[in-house]
A and B are shown apart, each in its own frame.
Chain A
Amino acid sequence: MSYSRVVGAVEIGTSKVAVLLGEIVGESGLNIIGHSACSSKGIKKGVITDLNVASDCVHAAILAAEKNAQTRIDEVYLAQTGSHLIGNFNVGTTNVSSPDGIIRSIDIESAKADAKRRKLPQSRTYIHHIQNPFSVDDRQVENPLSKEGRRLQVGYWSVHGDSDIVSDSLRVIRGIDLDVSDMIISSIASGAVLLQESEKENGALVIDMGGGTTDYVLYRKGYIVKTGVVPVGGDHITNDLSIGLRVGRKSAEDFKVKNGRAYYSSEDREEKVWMIGDLTIGDREYPMAAITKIIEARVSEVFDIIKLQLEEAELLEPSEIASGIVLTGGGARLNGIDEAAKRSIGLEARVSEGSTDVAEELRQPEYSTVLGLLHYALTGQEESAKTAKPSGLFRRIGSLLNLD
């Protein structure tokens, strides 16, 4: 019998907690054996605001998934999001040590260490160091080992988060006696399953609009060159509608789901929609234009912020992002979201249909992050077996897990 372990992929999202159980068999087999999702409590904008309440609902979701799969989880892969996540691009440089100019592994290690040398204040914790290409004397190379040159450089996109917020999420998992093997930021997890290798090569921007945050990851030439979190999500659309239309949260949510569109169109001026719509006494009509104008303002702002961040990093060149924008997360269900993204960012956009490798019910945009976590639980293993594949290096931060 081959070795197998059960991995729980957990995303503590603003609107729901999603858990996916995968059985990893041997080195490359993955069976999805259980899943559950339940409404979140005690979480706003991707950050736990009430530890007890949040713990209860995460534990309930984990237990439900275990029951669904009729097995116990061995280890947890946890998604991270929230505006506390900040990324920097750091370049490590080393002079080739051997007199003959042949690069040895010690030089590679030294360049990598140099890139990661930047110390963070106590309150911040690294979550990822994502490796970008090496270059030898300013020429890009895939694998510098045994190449000849004088100066070796390597870039890393490093993401760090607020230590307290990160440890709160780890505490929640430890509260049910499980260990977190790795943390992966939501955007990277989603991107991993939604993009084909060829799309990563051509360049693609994955935007995952959740309940409280919008996470994005930009791939260029197969590498993750930037990630980001805009602390605005579907909850903001609902809140804007609630304030703008002066209706309760529930009605605002209904308007968003039933009538919402991500952009305003001149036909909306004539159209009216009922709040309840079943001839209930007290029901009233609202102008469609009010709904779409409120949503358009919010959605375009989110895309404008992403655009600005990419422009500031000088990464927004349409020719380098030929596969365009791929939208996922609950926000991707909003009618016209692709058109709105295209108008704001100026790249072709499509709504992801989900990974075709999984069952129909798991293709919903809400599951893409947890699927990505399982993907990493599987490939992380492969990567350590093979020699340094450049697409990602996800190392857990030991000190963080030894919290009391």
Chain B
Amino acid sequence: MSLDTQNLFSQETASNHLKIKIIGVGGAGTNAVDGLKLDDLGDVRLAAINTDAQALGNSPIAEKLLIGRSVTRGLGAGGEIEIGKAAAESDRDSIARLIADTDLIILIVGLGGGTGSAAVSVVAEVAAKTEALVLAFATLPFSFEGARRKRIAEESIGELRQLVHGLIPLPNDVLLQEGEEDTSVLNAFAVADRWIGRGVNSLCSMLLKTGLINQDFGSLRSVFHDRGGKTIFGTGMASGPDYVKNALDDLFLCPLLHMGDRPAQLDRIIVNVIGGADLGISKVNEIMSLVSKRFGSREDIVFGAVIDEGRHESLEICILGKADMEGKPAKAPEKSVKAVQQSTVEGGLGLETEIAQENKAPRPVHSSKLSKKKAAEIEANQDEFTFIYNDAQRGYFEKTDRNEYNGEDLDVPTFMRRGIKIKIK
């Protein structure tokens, strides 16, 4: 790996500033980064990585990296995962330069295509060798886009999850449910981008702005202290007279936070609220207690509250949570991880992982068939990623075998697979 000398020098001068880089990978990822509207956050740098020279040329992002020129001659991967992979591999060094000297890397990618699905793992692999905390927002294709794109996305997400600290899967099937009433499938990408935008903006505001309750990078790092596991993300927002209640309602109805039967239960959660000057500490306390009651216990939750002077009677709540894979019974706050260390950057390691590993989820008793099947067909790794891909959508059937029929999982609600929008508000 060859770091150029300029970067080495700049590292010294800016060491006390938090360096955040948001990187769009592939066409959809680049578009999402293009569309980001961040609340006056000067220190955040945006970048794009793609195989398609023309698409990159049209992007207003400052830092652009064309990968695989020798492989694709700048013409894109054409949906071919092998080409995307070769392109990313051929430019590992440039990727390393792009991500060097960063504290927090946020990857944004649309999975299912050739470039994003393949290159994002390479980027994550390179990033894993640095000290940076890496989070990834990955949209998953609609069911009706076909089994091929879905399979590519699943494979990619399985790889990616091992490499980053927090992977936030955003199934388009689910996001469509949350769009405006007139949301058609055609502008569904815009819906996904809006979601990512809200998440990224909330995260960055929390880290960079001063507020009622400040949270620093250390808190974020302690929530995402290890790689793997399951990350859950959701937001709620409202404005008007009853904005606190309505924003909470919106958050609790967020489809990404539901596993059918019950709200998602998480091991460590970071919650950030952005409100106007009228958001007092008592309102924040109210929000905190309701959110903790819903998603876990108070000790597991890190809260941040940011005041945005431009807002009035308007509130946005964003939650990011981590559940340790295989490690957690559905609801057992007394066993869950203790209070998150807030100040030290490496805080919270060690003990927590051990506890998490001890609480093995109960295996199904019907061992005769399942155990055989596990050994023969499903590798542990694959089992985990199907879990991550589907859990928000299978609900009651979460723990059962997939119900495959013509490439679709029949346990996932039909309306979601068919892209039928259900309006409940």
Contact = CB atoms under 8 A, between A and B. Distances in A.
A290 B422 contact: yes
Interface string B116-158: 0000000000000000000000000000000000000000000
A243 B260 contact: yes
B395 A49 contact: no
B366 interface: yes
A244 B177 CA distance: 8
B261 A248 contact: yes
A50 B364 contact: yes
Given A231-B403, A246-B424, A239 B395 contact: yes
A160 to B, nearest CB: 15
Interface string B208-252: 000000000000000000000000000000000000000000001
Contacts of A231: 403, 405, 410
Contacts of B410: 230-232, 236, 301
A44 interface: yes
Contact of A51 (B262, B366, B418): B366
A261 interface: no
Interface stretch (A17-25, A30-38, A68-76, A162-170): A162-170
B7 interface: no
A249 B368 contact: no
Contacts of A239: 260, 394-397, 411, 413
Contacts of B71: none
A294 interface: yes
A293 interface: yes
B365 interface: yes
A294 B411 contact: no
B400 A49 contact: yes
A238 B261 CA distance: 10
B255 interface: yes
Nearest to B414: A297
B396 A242 contact: yes
Contacts of A51: 365-366
Contact of A232 (B258, B261, B403): B403
B424 A290 contact: yes
A231 B177 CA distance: 25
A174 B423 CA distance: 50
A232 B418 CA distance: 16
Interface in A251-286: 286
Interface in A143-183: 162, 164-165, 167-168
Contacts of A106: none
Contacts of B366: 47-51, 168
A298 interface: yes
Interface in A280-322: 286-287, 289-290, 293-294, 297-298, 301, 305
Interface string B389-425: 0000111110110010100001101111010101110
Contact of A162 (B369, B393, B395, B415): B369
A50 B365 contact: yes
Given A236-B411, A239-B260, A244-B422, A83 B396 contact: no
B396 A246 contact: no
Question: Interface majority SS on A: helix, strand, loop or mixed?
Answer: helix
Contacts of A50: 364-366
From A48, A240, A244, name the one whose CB has the most chain B CB atoms within 10 angstroms.
A244
Nearest to A123: B372
Contacts of A290: 422-424
Interface residues of A, number: 41
Nearest to A291: B422
Contacts of B262: 248
B46 to A, nearest CB: 34
Contacts of A244: 177, 413, 415-416, 422, 424
A244 B399 CA distance: 19
Contacts of A238: 396
A45 interface: yes
From A52, A164, A248, name the one whose CB has the most chain B CB atoms within 10 angstroms.
A164
B403 A243 contact: no
A235 B405 contact: no
A224 B418 CA distance: 33
A165 B369 contact: yes
B413 A294 contact: yes
A293 B255 contact: no
Nearest to B393: A243
Interface string A199-217: 0000000000000000000
Contacts of A48: 366
A245 interface: yes
Contacts of B415: 240, 244, 293-294, 297-298
A45 B413 CA distance: 15
A49 B364 contact: yes
A210 to B, nearest CB: 15
Contact of A45 (B253, B260, B403): B403
A47 B399 CA distance: 13
B420 A297 contact: yes
Given A246-B424, A293-B420, A297-B418, 11 more contacts: A42-B365, A44-B400, A168-B368, A238-B396, A243-B395, A243-B416, A244-B415, A244-B422, A246-B253, A297-B414, A301-B414
15 contacts: A47-B366, A49-B364, A162-B369, A168-B369, A231-B405, A231-B410, A232-B403, A239-B394, A244-B415, A249-B261, A286-B424, A289-B423, A290-B424, A297-B420, A301-B410
Interface of A: 42, 44-45, 47-53, 83, 162, 164-165, 167-168, 230-232, 235-236, 238-240, 242-246, 248-249, 286-287, 289-290, 293-294, 297-298, 301, 305
Closest A-B pairs by Cβ, 6 of them: A240-B413, A297-B414, A297-B415, A164-B369, A239-B396, A164-B368
